[in-house]
Amino acid sequence: MSLTPELGSALKDILPDDGLILEPEMLRAYECDGLTAKRGLPLAVALPRTGKQVQAVVRLCHEHRLPIVPRGAGTGLSGGAQPLSNGLVLSLARMQRILEINPDNLSARVQPGVRNLAVSDAARAHGLYYAPDPSSQIACTIGGNVAENSGGVHCLKYGLTVHNILQLQLVTAEGELLEIGSNALDSPGYDLLALLTGSEGLLGIITEVTVKLLPIPPAARVMLAAFDSVEQAGQAVGAIIAAGIVPAGLEMMDNRSLRAAEDFVHAGYPVDAAAILLCEMDGTQTEVHEQLERVERILLRYGCSSMRASDSEEERTRIWAGRKAAFPAVGRISPDYYCMDGTIPRHRLPEVLSRIEAMSGKYSLNVANVFHAGDGNLHPLILYDASKPGELARAEKFGGEILALCVEVGGTITGEHGVGSEKIDQMCVQFHSMELQQFHAIKKAFDETALFNPGKAIPTLHRCAELGAMHVHNGELPFPDLERF
Amino acid sequence: MSHRELIRDAFASKTPLNIQGGGSKGFLQPAPVPAKTLHTTDLTGILDYQPEELFVRARAGTRLQEIEKLLRQKQQMLPFDPPRFSPAATLGGSIASGLSGPSRPWWGAARDFVLGCVLINGRGERLRFGGEVIKNVAGYDVSRLQCGAWGTLGLLEEISIKTLPAPEEEITLELELDESDALEKIREWNRQPLPLCGAVWHQGLLRIRLSGNAAAVAQGRLRIGGERSGNTGFWEQLKEHRLDFFHSAKPLWRISLPRDCPAMKLPGEILVDWGGAQRWLLSDSSMEVLSQIAANAGGHASPFHPNRPVPLDPGLMRLHQRLKNAFDPAGILNPGRLFP
């Protein structure tokens, strides 16, 4: 399939110079996002520089029923920006101007292609920063963060993207420009800001975002604590929260992931520990000191075998470096890995981990666990070798079983990576058909002709019905037509 | 008959329904069109409370007081500090109205703490969205959308809310300042890492509430200065609108503004709340006049007395109507509440 010459030249008129990519070799750069297993070439890639150009492109595509896949930096892990062979990729990456930093309103108005970290960098001169810090923050864009409702290691205390934005400028499927939210703390009508955040590019194109800024805490220290069992570490997490402490970050790594990280970045992790906790406190010097003492007492009570608190900013950075490099570190010990993203109620952790261990035996595949322990978001990394026959299929089945387990214990199939094209089938596990129908009705209210990212995030009832039939038959979830990694 | 059956029947017969919880916030809405009242007060009970998991799940008709009492026993709280306006106030009503107390600019709004809900839409379908976990991005965030929707998208049957530990220490400081200086000071303090959770100016007196870790509160007190106040009931009286200011025959308006909005002339008596981002106004002025003043300052004005709904821009209005239609195609839920 290709663009008609008329449509191609109409797009060129809107996007002069290098604003439109049509050459197959250049389209290649857009064939996938962070979910690299799912690839495909779009008909074209549009690279607008202004909101007006976005509007014009959307109007044209609407008129010609040409599907649009919006894209930020392409760091998403669920295939949300995976191109459609009959559609256009609309990249917002060139809209990368910080339009205004307003320290008195604690806000920054930015274009969608601005990188997450660039906002904090620009705000630093005012003693402010943007709190959500997904691990891809060097590269990922604010527009993409809004589309995915991105979190980060500090979201237990500071919230997700939805808690940290004030206003959006949205181009609707008809090409109309709407202001959603305001510079004030609330606006009349429905909370469309909440509905649009995390809508994975299905409801509109974001052309501007006003984010909230926070004062930079004067002090931050991280405690590194080792445990002889994952259960003890899990109980310590619950005890810290129950004591009325809300750490800025609270992370857990099991032995396999902490060893991989230690070998990779030499963060000083105790490689014999069954699990480590990283517990960060921030605030004033005295406050941090006091809180760390309390955390120390709790950790000891729960059988922590050794602990160390960072004494300098360098040490803090080094301790975090291990955690932040956990995924690539695991990538060094296995030819391939498949990253899962379920959330569970925290107190079910020991049970969930032991059942994952049992599955690991059943599928003969190792797994490394990295856990945003404070908010229950679990990232099991399934290790496999795609060059060995059958391993990929086993990894997929293993992954599907983990996500079904997350739902079974009262959690969810995705904590922060989104559904995209990757978890579309697991949506059938999490939701009933009436709920999915409600989602489709919402989509229709915004985008009647399914212009934006069709086929992503919300499965059709037909697809779920087929899966359901097979589900009953096999007693487990198959994903026959999903290729991954 | 269950609520689901009642709504299903009403959908079939196109009978308008007026959803009512404790009735504590009914005064905020225009007189509803004649409709059959659907009470939620029998949907009661706290279904699950796990302090270590930081959530509480309750049926929508559960009294707010009951939930707050339970949380207090475990040294926790609802951080958005919802106004009750009557002991009968329910959790469902608090979420449907989406109102938040004096700590809102620093701790967040009602919508920030909604984790999940069970909703019966206008077709009488019982739907579950979100859950009890803090991070959950599966599907559209329908739960938060119910905040401030006034039941026009569905009847809330069950709600899960994130809880937080109650602060260790709380103090109130008073400083004598005029409005302009008070707002200037607040802007300066907002940019610093201080444990602020209330900033109110009225008739020459600025009241600052600090709460959190004891050491941080002590340090904040040194930074801010002023006199420590013994009037510990002030914040509750403010939240519940029991201060003398609110006992007026004049209509009360709520003006929502950007946090950096300076002192402004408003046609009537004012009480500055939320560090300037919410200003209460007693005024006989019209909605048009006040809306214009608020819009010029980057915010909006809404009546806090029976009046017609705040008008929306035409583009937004169309989207609202389509969204309403997606949940309530027969238009039977709370007609007249959010739309003219």
SS3 annotation, chain B = CCHHHHHHHHHHHCCCEEEECCCCCHHHCCCCCCCEEEECCCCCCEEEEEHHHCEEEEECCCEHHHHHHHHHHCCEECCCCCCCCCCCCEHHHHHHHCCCCCCHHHHCCHHHHEEEEEEECCCCCEEEEECCCCCCCCCCCHHHHCCCCCCCCCEEEEEEEECEECCCEEEEEEEECCHHHHHHHHHHHHCCCCCEEEEEEECCEEEEEEEECHHHHHHHHHHHCCEECCCCCHHHHHHCCCCHHHCCCCCEEEEECECCCCCCCCCCEEEEEHHHCEEEEECCCCHHHHHHHHHHCCCEEEECCCCCCCCCCHHHHHHHHHHHHHHCCCCCECCCCCCC
Instruction: Give the closest of B51, B127, B131 to A434, CB-based.
Output: B127
Q: What is the pLDDT of residue B340?
A: 67
Would you call B316 an interface residue with chain A, using a CB distance cutoff of 8 Å? yes
pLDDT band at A1 (very low <50, low <70, confident <90, very high): low
Residue of B nearest to A345 (CA): B133
CB contact under 8 A, B50 and A347: yes
* Average pLDDT rounded to a whole number, residues A17-26: 95
Instruction: Give the closest of A182, A377, A434 to B299, CB-based.
Output: A182
Q: Is the pLDDT of residue A31 over 70?
A: yes
- Which of chain A's residues have a Cβ under 8 Å away from the Cβ of B259? 104-106, 185
CB contact under 8 A, A163 and B127: no
Stretch 328-387 of chain A: residues touching chain B, C-beta under 8 Å: 343-347, 372, 375-377
Q: What is the pLDDT of residue B336?
A: 87
DSSP per-residue string spanning A176-219: -EEEEE-SBS--SSS-HHHHHTT-TTSS-EEEEEEEE-EEPPSE
Residue of B nearest to A170 (CA): B316
Integer angstrom CA distances of residue A463 from A85, A397, A405, A424 = 20, 18, 21, 9
Would you call A172 an interface residue with chain B, using a CB distance cutoff of 8 Å? yes
Instruction: Give the closest of B129, B133, B191 to A411, CB-based.
Output: B133
Q: Is the pLDDT of residue B29 over 90?
A: no
pLDDT band at A480 (very low <50, low <70, confident <90, very high): very low
Contact B210, B195 (CB under 8 A): yes
Encode pLDDT of A140-189 as tens digits: 999 999 999 999 889 999 999 999 999 999 999 999 999 999 999 999 99
Q: Is the pLDDT of residue A370 over 50?
A: yes
What's the gap in Å between the CA of B1 and the closest CA on chain A?
A: 21
> What are the structural domain ranges in chain B?
3-165+318-327, 169-303
Give the lowest-confidence range in A31-40, A201-210, A244-253, B246-255.
A31-40
B50, B112, B140, best to mutate vs chain A, most A CBs in 10 Å: B140
* Average pLDDT rounded to a whole number, residues B207-212: 97
Between CA A313 and CA B219 the distance in angstroms is: 23
Encode pLDDT of B271-306 as tens digits: 999 999 999 999 999 999 999 999 999 999 999 998
Q: What is the pLDDT of residue B1?
A: 87
Mean confidence (pLDDT) of chain A: 93
- The answer to whether domain B3-165+318-327 has CATH 3.60.70.12 is no
Encode pLDDT of A283-336 as tens digits: 999 999 999 999 999 999 999 999 999 999 999 999 999 998 898 899 999 999
**Residue B312 structure tokens:** 């929306």
* Average pLDDT rounded to a whole number, residues B8-22: 96
Instruction: Give the closest of B112, B139, B258 to A184, CB-based.
Output: B258
Q: In chain B, what percentage of residues exceed pLDDT 90?
A: 92
A343: helix, coil or strand? strand
pLDDT band at A36 (very low <50, low <70, confident <90, very high): confident
Encode pLDDT of A212-271 as tens digits: 999 999 999 999 999 999 989 999 999 999 899 999 999 999 999 999 999 999 999 999
Would you call A197 an interface residue with chain B, using a CB distance cutoff of 8 Å? yes
* Average pLDDT rounded to a whole number, residues B231-241: 95
Would you call A156 an interface residue with chain B, using a CB distance cutoff of 8 Å? yes
